Amino acid sequence: MDVWFDVARNLEARLNEAAADLGWDRDVFEPAVRTADPRFGDFQANGVLPYAKRNKQNPRALAEQLVENLGEKKALAAGIDVSIAGPGFINFKLTPTYLLNWLRQFDSEAHLQRDAGKRFAGRTWVVDYGSPNTAKQMHVGHLRTIIVGESICRLLEFCGAKVIRDNHLGDWGTQFGIILYGYKHFLDPEALARDPLEEFERLYKAANARCKEDPAALEEARAELVRLQQGDPDAVAIWEKVNQLSVQSLKEIYERLDVHYDHYLGESFYRDKVDTVYRELTEIGLAEESEGALVVFHPEHPRFATQPFIIRKRDGASNYATTDLATMLYRVEHFDADGIIIVTDSRQNDHFEQLWLTTRKWFEATGRRLPEFQHVTFGTILGEDGKAIKTRSGDPIRLKALLDEAVERAFAIVTEKNPDLPEEKRREIAERVGIGAVVYADLSQNRTSDYIFSWQKLLSFEGNTAPYLLYACVRIASILRKLPAEQDTPPENASAFETAEEIALARKLAAFPAALDQAVTTLRPHFISLYLYELAGAFSSFYNADRVIVDDPAVRARRLLLCRRTLMVLQTGLHLLTIRPLDQM
RNA sequence: GCGCCAGUAGCUCAGGUGGAUAGAGCAGCGGUCUUCUAAACCGCGGGUCGGGGGUUCGAAUCCCUCCUGGCGUGCCA
């Protein structure tokens, strides 16, 4: 029996064909296939109701015609029960046999990927995420862009796209005048060797404080910035050292999070590419002088007709609008990007809307190909009081400290639950569980909501958390370890699923493509989290209700099949979320 | 002022491209380890989906309006 990878999409196609056969107006009829409440089936098509309403016909009768046509043409794969309910819902329920065949066919991550990968095959996406300022420690605020961005990269890759990961560092700001001043006056070489970012931050604070009370210092810091921008070898050497050490430190954290960039093309990379932007935008009449600055207005837009997009400051310097425009061009010309995704918090919405409006007009006027553009946003981080986050000292919570604490707490729990494991093993487990918990806490909620920072939530190891998913993996791994070799039974020997828990788990497994579709369409990884949580829940119920290693070989075969596929799908999903699975904890 | 986002159980959140009785976790209460890891499972209680109007056979979901909070709104990013 042939099974479909994405049942919902195939049902939609078949329903459309049947509707065409019946002479229905295809511009009006929309099958509207959704995942259904399990009580009714696996999928439901709701499209008949509005269509009948519009044509003033009996919805139930139309649903019957449609279903009959599906059956007559045998267009519907055998093994899917179709029924009509209520006023005209069409319910589709996968039979145990269909589910069994689905699980036999999709037997590895590679085989899931082969079908999923048809979606974006041949397309190139540049994803811009992370993008911290150099010479500063990353704090919790950087977590979302890193984690959400990486997960989006993995989703796109899984769906067949070529993905270029670009870290657009803030390495060329006005802050460097102060850092250069600090570097020259307050540097502690030992501290620098110990922890460069810590030292740079201290230098910045010390220099900033000095500049505030001493006008001469402020003057000197400004002079340093000018020197840097003019290419003074001394200033450039220090700037390069600061950036080089910064990136090195950043990579330590990226490594722990399993994030690996292809490029670190920061703002400084575009500093010799801004003249093209000024010239072309002026030539095509898009940019104009206003209050001494070079700006772009969008007369057709209610707000941007008067709210300028400033691309050159009054003092002649570029700003992030300039470098972002240059970046758009570079990504299309150099990487041949079909799509560009930028992941930042939603406070920058105006900026990116203006950037995109401007880019569109610019590219159209100069005959360039226009890429797809997505500004992927997320909410602001708030403290537990619901206001912008701040510790008592006014410093944000450092990402490194958060990860360390998560790992430490995980270590204490592993030690308590599994004291017999060697310490090295417990450390390894704690690293995965702790970091996984932090990552999952972030990815399990809808990215557009504001983010209430809570130690308790980010370090939680109970309920809908990474440890819950990892624990399901561990229990499966444990079963497979304890399975005597002569008791292993291949999927061909499996009988059809019978118990309520078996069937619920099998249905959940076959729903993976629907979850993937939802996540990648909306670029919202939390749909994967939600799915994995439900999958792990279905497995846990199954695990408690049905013993796997039993005497009956046919029953044992089908339960082993469920275990192996559950593990495979969990691992696939965790990988999409940038969480590394475990086989022991 | 204008604009964007949000308001769902005591708390933290799903569901939001309209569908059937609005779901989880945490917290509370009660059960389940001589059998594949109890970081688990099973059960119970808990709701004017911010208020009001509208569209619809059907609204947490779409439209209007009001309230509350956050953010943005010319030289930071």
Q: Are residues A150 and A79 in the same domain?
A: no
Q: Are residues A490 and A534 in the same domain?
A: yes
Q: Rounded distance, CA A40 to CA A550, Å? A: 31
Q: Are residues A360 and A304 in the same domain?
A: yes
CATH code for the domain of A151:
3.40.50.620
CATH code for the domain of A52:
3.30.1360.70
A582: in domain: no
Q: C1' nearest to CA of A463: which nucleotide? A: B25
Q: Are residues A514 and A546 in the same domain?
A: yes
A164: in domain: yes
Distance A210 CA to B2 C1' (A): 40
Q: The domain containing residue A249 runs over which residues?
A: 175-257
* Domain end residue (candidates: A206, A240, A257): A257
Distance A353 CA to B4 C1' (A): 11
Distance A98 CA to B24 C1' (A): 29
Residues 87-126 of chain A: which lie with beta carbon within 7 Å of strand B?
87, 89, 91
- Domain total for chain A? 4
Give me the residue label for tokens 């998560």.
A406
Q: Are residues A475 and A540 in the same domain?
A: yes
Residue nearest to nucleotide B72 (CA to C1'): A347
In three-state form (DSSP H/G/I as H, E/B as E, the rest C), the secondary structure along A155-203 is HHHHCCCEEEEECCCECCCCHHHHHHHHHHHHCCHHHHHHCHHHHHHHH
Residues 218-257 of chain A: which lie with beta carbon within 7 Å of strand B?
none
**pLDDT, tens digit only, all 585 positions of chain A:** 689 999 999 999 999 999 999 999 888 898 999 999 888 999 999 999 989 888 888 899 999 999 998 876 655 667 899 999 888 999 999 999 999 999 999 999 999 999 999 999 999 999 999 999 999 889 888 999 999 999 999 999 999 999 999 999 999 887 898 999 999 999 999 999 999 999 999 999 899 889 888 889 988 988 898 899 888 999 999 999 999 999 999 999 999 999 999 999 999 999 999 999 999 999 999 999 999 999 999 999 989 999 999 999 998 888 999 999 999 999 999 999 999 999 999 889 999 999 999 999 999 999 999 999 999 998 877 766 666 665 555 567 889 999 999 999 999 999 999 999 999 999 999 999 999 999 999 999 999 887 777 888 888 898 899 999 999 999 999 999 999 999 999 999 999 999 999 999 999 999 999 999 999 999 999 999 999 999 999 999 999 999 999 999 999 999 999 999 999 999 999 999 999 999 999
A252's tokens: 């330590």
Q: Are residues A336 and A422 in the same domain?
A: no
Q: Are residues A317 and A245 in the same domain?
A: no
Distance A320 CA to B75 C1' (A): 11
A461: in domain: yes
Q: Are residues A199 and A239 in the same domain?
A: yes
Q: Are residues A212 and A80 in the same domain?
A: no
A249: in domain: yes
CB of A479 under 7 A from strand B?
A: yes
Q: Are residues A197 and A282 in the same domain?
A: no
A100: in domain: no
Q: Are residues A244 and A295 in the same domain?
A: no
Between CA A330 and CA A339, with CA A334 as vertex, the angle to 5 degrees is: 75
* Domain end residue (candidates: A222, A257, A292): A257
CB of A348 under 7 A from strand B?
A: yes
Give me the residue label for tokens 């980010």.
A458
CATH code for the domain of A506:
1.10.730.10
Distance A241 CA to B23 C1' (A): 53
A386: in domain: no
Q: C1' nearest to CA of A85: which nucleotide? A: B20
Q: How many CB atoms lie within 10 A of CB A397?
A: 20
Q: Rounded distance, CA A528 to CA A517, Å? A: 10
Q: C1' nearest to CA of A320: which nucleotide? A: B77
Q: Rounded distance, CA A378 to CA A270, Å? A: 26
Query: In this structure, is the dihedral angle defined by the CA atoms of residues A551, A556, A557 and A563, taken in order, positive or negative?
Result: negative
A133: in domain: yes
**Residue A232: DSSP 8-state:** -
CB of A86 under 7 A from strand B?
A: yes
Q: Are residues A143 and A214 in the same domain?
A: no
A186: in domain: yes
Q: Tell me the pLDDT tens digit for each residue of A199-243.
A: 999 999 899 889 888 889 988 988 898 899 888 999 999 999 999
CB of A521 under 7 A from strand B?
A: yes
Q: Tell me the pLDDT tens digit for each residue of A469-480.
A: 999 999 999 999
* Domain end residue (candidates: A378, A408, A443): A378
pLDDT score at A419: 93
Do residues A539 and A574 make contact, with C-beta atoms less than 8 angstroms apart?
no
CB of A2 under 7 A from strand B?
A: no
Distance A453 CA to B5 C1' (A): 18
